[in-house]
Amino acid sequence: MSLDAIKYYRSFEAGQTLIWSGDRMEFVASVVTGVATLSQVMEDGRTQTVGLLFPSDFVGRPGRDTAPYNVVATTDLLMCCFRKKPFEDLMAKTPHIAQRLLEMTLDELDAAREWLLLLGRKTAREKIASLLAIVARRDASLKMLPAAGKLVIDLPLTREAMADYLGLTLETVSRQMSALKRDGVIELEGKRHVTIPNFDRLIEEAGDDTDGGIPG
Amino acid sequence: MSLDAIKYYRSFEAGQTLIWSGDRMEFVASVVTGVATLSQVMEDGRTQTVGLLFPSDFVGRPGRDTAPYNVVATTDLLMCCFRKKPFEDLMAKTPHIAQRLLEMTLDELDAAREWLLLLGRKTAREKIASLLAIVARRDASLKMLPAAGKLVIDLPLTREAMADYLGLTLETVSRQMSALKRDGVIELEGKRHVTIPNFDRLIEEAGDDTDGGIPG
DNA sequence: TCTGCATTTTGATCTGTGTCAAGGTGGGGA
DNA sequence: TCCCCACCTTGACACAGATCAAAATGCAGA
């Protein structure tokens, strides 16, 4: 038996919440197309996004059965799902899958820790530049293109979703986007379509070491 | 062959850096006694602590050989080390160890994501209360006592180390510690010895759901 | 095409935390 | 015992980003 034998697909519309924090998780899944967020909400409504899910990213945790976060589609989304029990059984019999899962989890941990630095120490402008860089890198890697020179992306997030990920307000996000446009770091057509004329310049603005930040 | 057969011990003094970011990692290790931090430093010196290591916590990553963070002893520290190669060999032969490592990594990921909420959305006062709660929980669990009612802890961190973990300045940390003392949430003897007369009150100040935050 | 509403931008002002600058405090070594 | 120095506290002021408030944009549906 292989993973292919137990998989099925589900699609969701932009804005839909796939999973509520505290829900029983019946499946694990990976993103096929589209983008989703993992987010945590405080009692008074303050919201922090704790992870972005791009195509190929994995959600769900074998061995635990209630969801720790809200999972929300920020674009139309297609997920490839596996019922949890068969997936766990398969994992127990196939060390390769467990190994791969450990590797992915370690990468997620690195990404989370990169984000700790961003939230704890970066300015609003650096935060925006960092987010644009991450989206551009993921987008380039999907298209099997190098993340360098001139890049064009469509932001998969509203200004509010960006704010929730960056620990800012949507007004500050909007102002800093305008400032980066004014300074020629980006060009905007509409609200979502972004041209990055010089990726290295964007990386400088992000305050990351010049060697390039998050791998993958 | 077992883990016991390949382990050895090393001790470090408070303030010592065990591992520099970028160093070749010759070993993986776990904390026996004392506390250490994982931290990331930007080119201009801004520092963010991305993890606290208490007794039983694990450092190092089978499969990667350069350290991604600085590891610094914040108290006198005893580590139990395993040379990386033998550890990896053992892991390949012993699925149980890999399984345990995945579990620990998932817990670390949860802790990192809890910290994202703290850094992105909590006030300075909530941040301090959250840190005190985490230290108190870990300390209680070491002593096999329930984390409730009246608790007494010795902070394993200087004000500056607290600031680096909380994304604040040391002055703000100091002011908020004084404010929590003034408001009767904590009592201070010296700079490090803290009495928490009512743990539930502290949790409220931390802004966490009343059910109690990070397990373990 | 026009309308309505969600989303975004921009402006004015406020505030929490950072920055700069003095003092305090206490524990280890002479 | 006393002094020194690292660590901490407190004060005054500055500023990045939050908050409150309007206006502009642009897309979906009539």
Q: Is residue B215 predicted with pLDDT exceeding 80?
A: no
Torsion angle, CA of A188/A189/A192/A198, rounded to 10 degrees? -40
8 Å CB contact of B120 and A48: yes
| Model pLDDT for residues A61-71, shown as the tens digit of each residue | 988 889 999 99
List phi, psi (to 5°) of A145.
-115, 155
H-assigned helices in chain B: 3-6, 84-93, 95-121, 124-142, 159-166, 170-182, 199-206
User: From 3.30.465.10, 3.30.450.20, 3.40.50.20, 1.10.10.10, which CATH number describes the B123-206 domain?
Assistant: 1.10.10.10
B163 to chain A: nearest residue by CA? Answer: A120
Q: Which of B41, B58, B113, B168 to mutate to test the interface with A (most CBs of A within 10 A)?
A: B113
Extract the tokens encoding B129. Answer: 């209360």
Burial call A87-119: b when 16+ CB within 10 Å, e when fewer:
beebbeeeeebbbebbeebbebbbbbbbbbbbb
* Opening angle at CA A99, ends A94 and A102, nearest 5: 135
Average pLDDT estimate for A104-118: 96
Q: To which residue do tokens 């759901």 refer?
A: B209
Beta-bridge mates of residue A193: A154, A189
For chain B, domain boundaries: 6-116, 123-206
Nearest to B30 by CA among B48, B52, B66, B55: B55
pLDDT at B166: 98
Within 8 A of A115 by CB-CB distance, chain B residues are: 116
| Model pLDDT for residues B84-131, shown as the tens digit of each residue | 999 999 988 888 888 889 999 999 999 999 999 999 999 999 999 999
Using the Cα atoms of residue B162, residue B165, residue B171 and residue B176 in order, give the sign of their dihedral.
Answer: negative
8 Å CB contact of B95 and A99: no
| Model pLDDT for residues A174-194, shown as the tens digit of each residue | 999 999 999 999 999 989 999
8 Å CB contact of B103 and A69: no
Q: Is residue B139 predicted with pLDDT exceeding 90?
A: yes
Chain B window 167-206: which residues touch A at a Cβ cutoff of 8 Å?
167
| Model pLDDT for residues A1-11, shown as the tens digit of each residue | 677 889 999 99
pLDDT at A210: 61
What Cα–Cα distance (Å) separates residue A151 from each residue in A188, B134, B201?
Answer: 12, 43, 51
Give the CATH class of A3-116: mainly beta
pLDDT at B214: 44
B100 to chain A: nearest residue by CA? Answer: A102
Average pLDDT estimate for B42-64: 95
Shortest distance between the Cα of B140 and any Cα of chain A, in A, equals 24
Shortest distance between the Cα of B92 and any Cα of chain A, in A, equals 10
Q: How would residue A98 be classed by pLDDT, with cut points 50, 70 and 90?
A: confident
Confirm whether B6-116 and B123-206 share one CATH topology: no
Across the interface, of B47, B109, B119, the residue whose CB is closest to A119 is B119
Nearest to A170 by CA among A122, A121, A124: A124
Q: Does domain A124-206 have CATH number 1.10.10.10?
A: yes
Distance CA A5, CA B26 (A): 41
8 Å CB contact of B109 and A110: no
Q: How would residue B75 be classed by pLDDT, with cut points 50, 70 and 90?
A: very high
Q: Is residue B6 predicted with pLDDT exceeding 50?
A: yes
Using the Cα atoms of residue A42, residue A45, residue A48 and residue A54 in order, give the sign of their dihedral.
Answer: positive
Protein side of the strand D interface (CB < 7 A): A 123-125, 167-169, 171-172, 190-191; B 15, 158-160, 170-171, 173-175, 177-178, 188, 191-192
H-assigned helices in chain A: 84-93, 95-121, 124-142, 159-166, 170-182, 199-206
Across the interface, of B38, B102, B117, the residue whose CB is closest to A105 is B102
pLDDT at B212: 44
Domain covering B6-116, topology: Jelly Rolls (2.60.120)
Q: How would residue B12 be classed by pLDDT, with cut points 50, 70 and 90?
A: very high
**Interchain CB contacts (distance < 8 Å): A and B:** 102
Distance CA A119, CA B115 (A): 10
Is residue A187 within 8 A of residue A155, CB to CB? The reply is: no
pLDDT at B3: 77
Rg of chain A (C-alpha set): 18
* Opening angle at CA A64, ends A58 and A65, nearest 5: 95
Question: Which letter does DSSP use for residue B190 in this model?
Answer: T
Q: How would residue A214 be classed by pLDDT, with cut points 50, 70 and 90?
A: very low
Q: How would residue A211 be classed by pLDDT, with cut points 50, 70 and 90?
A: low
Nucleotide nearest to A46 (CA to C1'): D18
Q: Parallel, antiparallel, or unpaired for β B36-41 and B70-73?
A: antiparallel
Distance CA B35, CA B52 (A): 7
Determine the residue type at A141.
Answer: S
Q: How far is CA A211 from the centre of its chain?
A: 21
Q: Is residue B216 predicted with pLDDT exceeding 50?
A: no
pLDDT at B144: 95
Nucleotide nearest to B14 (CA to C1'): D6
B41 to chain A: nearest residue by CA? Answer: A117
Q: Is residue A215 predicted with pLDDT exceeding 70?
A: no
Q: How would residue A213 be classed by pLDDT, with cut points 50, 70 and 90?
A: very low
First to last CA, chain B: 30
Q: Which residue has the higher pLDDT, A97 or A18?
A: A18
Chain A window 70-129: which residues touch B at a Cβ cutoff of 8 Å?
95, 98-99, 101-103, 105-106, 108-110, 112-117, 119-121
Mean per-residue pLDDT over chain A, rounded: 93
Beta-bridge mates of residue B31: B79
Within 8 A of B114 by CB-CB distance, chain A residues are: 40
Extract the tokens encoding A53. Answer: 């899910």
Nucleotide nearest to A172 (CA to C1'): D17
pLDDT at B211: 53
Across the interface, of A42, A98, A116, the residue whose CB is closest to B116 is A116
pLDDT-above-90 percentage for chain A: 84
| Model pLDDT for residues A21-61, shown as the tens digit of each residue | 999 999 999 999 999 999 999 999 999 999 999 999 999 99
Beta-bridge mates of residue B80: B9, B30
Question: Which run of H or of E encompasses A39?
Answer: strand A36-41
pLDDT-above-70 percentage for chain A: 96
Is residue A23 within 8 A of residue A64, CB to CB? The reply is: no
Extract the tokens encoding B179. Answer: 């404010």
8 Å CB contact of A207 and B42: yes
